[in-house]
Structure 1
């Protein structure tokens, strides 16, 4: 006979477990920096202002929810937090909420895996960088060759930056760099609990 109360019991148990996990990390309840929306120049300005206004001592919690954006802005924000850690020794914690897609995952990669957290139901999405460019071939032949080489160098350099980001993202986790390379072209979505099980984040709250 089917237990009609089982789904409710499971939900109650899951809620209790989530509450227990959240209680382990009280700092995550009130992030010092809250970022949401597209990763762009406006987010960077907002990030800088919140960083200036944040407490100057103790752990710094950064909450992020984004569908993606500019990976270079994500790298810039991450680099500023890296410098903060190295110069002051402060702990920085990452809390992903709902969606940590694309440039959001790039930003997350700037935090050590044992300083990353996700809320229940959050998903990470990892993909390759995208380029959209029209190359117009016109002019002296040598100039045309130089122009094509410049575009090729741009792509090659972008690939190197992407690979550096992938290595940072999975460093210390159970995911290999080769696995990311294999799955990123088709947009790799990772649910919160799977990310925890893979060691990509420390815990889910």
Structure 2
């Protein structure tokens, strides 16, 4: 039954009631395979609705799913809509960034969580002294490139919103939790249903 109380906007967006792609759980290889299967089986005409509930996972898998959505939109001019439910944390927010702000929705009481990427690594230095600097430079290059990828995603999340990139960069190290209504007031989503 649809919530049609005065404060609910659900009636304005009937397409969101039955998402074509419904994802939940960790963003991992299994989710990606589930996503691909549902995408292949989705109707080929009309807007495509994707919903997700996740506590996070692999940001590169989220980026890959987002690229599939972006390419679909660019090659077919098909409208794609994002619906975040309950929790859209970490890699879930990365997936959300693939959708323009005017195509993003959250259900009531959903929370977003945006944070910096993290890395856990051990560097073993073993060998001739002249070769050790290459090992250190390689790790530094990996870190710097990961920061560039992270910042690209941060820019996509805030594009078209009231949130400045610098503000997101300042808040992300502390795990920025954003309630649905706050996300709406910040212009990170079009509406809350």
Deviation at 1:30, TM superposition (A): 0.3
Deviation at 1:159, TM superposition (A): 0.2
The one of 6, 22, 27 equivalent to 1:17 is 6
Pairwise CA RMSD = 1.0
The one of 124, 134, 156 equivalent to 1:168 is 156
Tell me how far apart the structure 2 counterparts of residues 27 and 143 of structure 1 sit (CA, whole Å).
59
Corresponding residue for 1:35? 23
Tell me how far apart the structure 1 counterparts of residues 130 and 162 of structure 2 sit (CA, whole Å).
48
The superposition leaves residues 149-199 of structure 1 with CA deviations (integer Å, 9 ceiling, x where unpaired) of 000000000000000000000000000000000000000000000000000
Corresponding residue for 1:177? 165
Deviation at 1:18, TM superposition (A): 4.1
Aligned length: 191
SS at match of 1:64: strand
TM-score normalized by the length of structure 1: 0.92
Q: Are 1:87 and 2:68 an aligned pair?
A: no
Structure 1 segment 47-126 matched on structure 2, within 5 A: 47-126=35-114
**Structure whose residues are more often helix by fraction:** 1
Tell me how far apart the structure 2 counterparts of residues 97 and 17 of structure 1 sit (CA, whole Å).
21
Q: Are the equivalent residues in 1 in contact too, given 2:4–2:11 (CA < 8 A)?
A: no
Q: Are the equivalent residues in 1 in contact too, given 2:53–2:88 (CA < 8 A)?
A: yes
Tell me how far apart the structure 1 counterparts of residues 164 and 153 of structure 2 sit (CA, whole Å).
13
Deviation at 1:15, TM superposition (A): 6.9
4+ long deviations beyond 2 Å: none
Corresponding residue for 2:121? 133
Deviation at 1:142, TM superposition (A): 2.0
TM-score normalized by the length of structure 2: 0.97
Larger radius of gyration: 1
